[in-house]
Structure 1
Amino acid sequence: MQLMRPANIVTAISDVMAGAAIATLHVADSPGDRPLIYWVLLALSTMGLYGGGVVFNDVFDARLDAVERPERPIPSGRVPVRHAVWLGAALFALGALTASFLGGTSLFIAISIVLMCLLYDKWAKHHAVAGPLAMGLCRGLNLLLGISLFPAALPAVWLLAGIPVIYIAAVTTISRGEVHGGKRSPLLFSALLYGVVIGLIAYHGALKSETWFSMIVLLVFATIIYSPLLKAVRTLAPPDIRKSVKYGVLALIFMNTAWVAAAGLWGLAVFVLSLFPISIWLSKMFSVT
């Protein structure tokens, strides 16, 4: 469970729900046109894909963690590397298999997520530009996985997947200082990227739908991500940077709720929003970063 980062997995569920909600704005189909089992398969798929990605992150980081974070499951000796590899592979297989039941497009996106996760875990995260971009693409593809529940919408809305790319790139940039402390300029750059994300969501979602609930959720989202970040900018202390990263990840649920509310799917919006206290509860027991 520690290897899988369950609090983060909950946020991944909100990604695919947001993607499916966005899709309904551009097709004649309604959420009710997809049986409940399809939504369950979508959630299981993203849980497997995200879980596999973070497990392999620890597999590839085992030597580094032995120095910087010896308390983690692999360097502490509580989990052998080969067991972690089997767990990560099984989770990836679960994600791809369940996506295949949704159709060929969903399977293709799921496989793309697996490859992007491995690219990030093994190589990209060690590079200042490639790391944030690859991690952002993982989340962007996850949004596309949700949209693929209504594949006819993909040509119209696939560019919106760039928004979580920008957002996670900002969070990943912040995370580079969570062990040894950070520099002020990358944190300020991330603050700028946050502003871009909020503006894009407001323009393409909240303002176009004219739903007051979507705007309120967007304001809450901005408060959650900026409060810890501004403190980290002042102190540059690793604990404050880690807190900023933690809430940057958990706040994805509010960002995705804003999308769902903009689509007018109130029941789904309440469900996605209810994931936040679950994620907070899990984050108190399991590491997020």
Structure 2
Amino acid sequence: MSSLKPYLQLTRPANLVTAVADILAGMAIAQFTFSSFSPVYLVLSTLGLYGGGVVMNDVFDAKLDSIERPERPIPSGKVPLKSAVLLGISLLFFGIFMAAMYSVTSGMIAIVVAMLTILYNRIAKHHVFFGPLTMGLCRGGNLILGMSVLPESIQKWGFIALLPIAYIGAITLISQDEVHGGKKRTLYIAAALYLMVLTAQLTVAQQQGNILFALPFVLLHASLIGRPLWNAIQNPVGPMIGKAVKSGVISLIVMNASWCVAFGLWPLALAVLALLPLSILLAKVFAVT
């Protein structure tokens, strides 16, 4: 297990749980009835795509991490660089293959998500605007991958994928300063993006007639992301910003649960919310950021 842990650390297990929540939320938005076992292909797909994406993140950051985060698996020598490359590429291809097993549409979406992850890790992440945008597109694409369980739903509800783009854009914007500290202006921009997402969820829930059920979920989400962000605004040093990033990532589960209940699938919302303790537990063992 000790030799396996560095490889697991590369895949960010706590974050992988949030990717599964994306798929379930997308299925809820599509109003899928969960009458068959086949959507498990999409769950396996997102595990491969997300896992491969974060592994490749560490691959491309290996030189920088040797200076700023020498304890990470690759710079510490616990995982050889070539092994990490092979793991990352294999996971991405696994994610594409699993999606294609469900449908051609799902497979095409998975290819786009995989390409976006490479674009982010190789080029976009170093840009203050295109970095958050590209990472947000990855997460929005993941939600659409869940919606592809019923492809006709994408035309009607695909615009909702813009909100995870804004949300992840906020987290990525914050994370750019988690090593050296940052500016309050960046944190205020992130807060505005968070507020936009929360407001949009309540608006959709109202339109669907589920506002009373959705309100507790949205308020819980606001609390989980708001407190660490406020602390970071008060003291924008690296460790405080890191906590804001961590809470933003893990709280994606609550955001996805909110989407489930906004569309009337409250049993699924509770099932998604039950993933939160698992993600928190994994976050204590494996790095999130």
TM-score by length of 2: 0.95
- Tell me, what secondary structure is at the counterpart of 2:181? coil
Query: CA contact under 8 A between 1:206 and 1:259: conserved in structure 2?
Result: no
Aligned residues of 2:205 and 2:211 also touching (Cα < 8 A): no
Preserved CA contact (<8 Å) 1:206 1:215: no
1:284 equivalent in structure 2 = 284
What is the CA–CA distance in structure 2 between the aligned matches of 1:22 and 1:164, rounded to whole Å? 14
Partner of 2:168: 168
Residues 206 and 88 (structure 1 numbering): CA distance in 2 closer, same or farther, change over 3 Å?
Answer: farther
**Alpha-carbon distance in 1 for matches of 2:209, 2:143:** 19
Find the residue that maps to 2:30 and give its secondary structure. helix
For the residue of structure 2 that corresponds to 1:2, the secondary structure is helix
- Matching of residues 1-289 of structure 1 within 5 Å: 1-24=8-31, 30-33=32-35, 35-36=36-37, 38-206=38-206, 208-289=208-289
C-alpha displacement at 1:207, in angstroms? 5.3
User: Structure 2: any 5+ residue segments left out of the alignment?
Assistant: 1-7
- 2-structure distance, mates of 1:266, 1:208: 13
Contact in 2 for aligned 1:198/1:218 (Cα 8 Å):
yes
CA distance in 1, matches of 2:66, 2:146: 37
Residue 206 (structure 1) shift? 5.0
Larger displacement relative to structure 2 (245-254 or 205-214): 205-214
Paired residue total: 282
Distance 1:40 1:108 in 2: 17
Alpha-carbon distance in structure 1 between the residues aligned to 2:15 and 2:227: 20
- Counting aligned pairs with the same residue, the percent is 48
Q: Which digits, 9 at most, give the CA deviation of each residue in 1:269-288, with x for residues without a partner? A: 12101110000000000000
How much has 1:176 moved relative to structure 2?
1.0
- What is the RMSD computed on CA atoms of the aligned residues? 1.0
Stretch of structure 1 that moved more, 177-186 or 258-267: 258-267
Alpha-carbon spacing, 1:48–1:206, altered in 2? closer, same or farther (3 Å): farther
Given the two structures, how large is their TM-score scaled by the length of structure 1? 0.95
Q: Which runs of 5+ in 1 are unaligned?
A: 25-29
Shift, 1:211, TM fit: 4.3
The code of the aligned residue for 1:10 comes to V
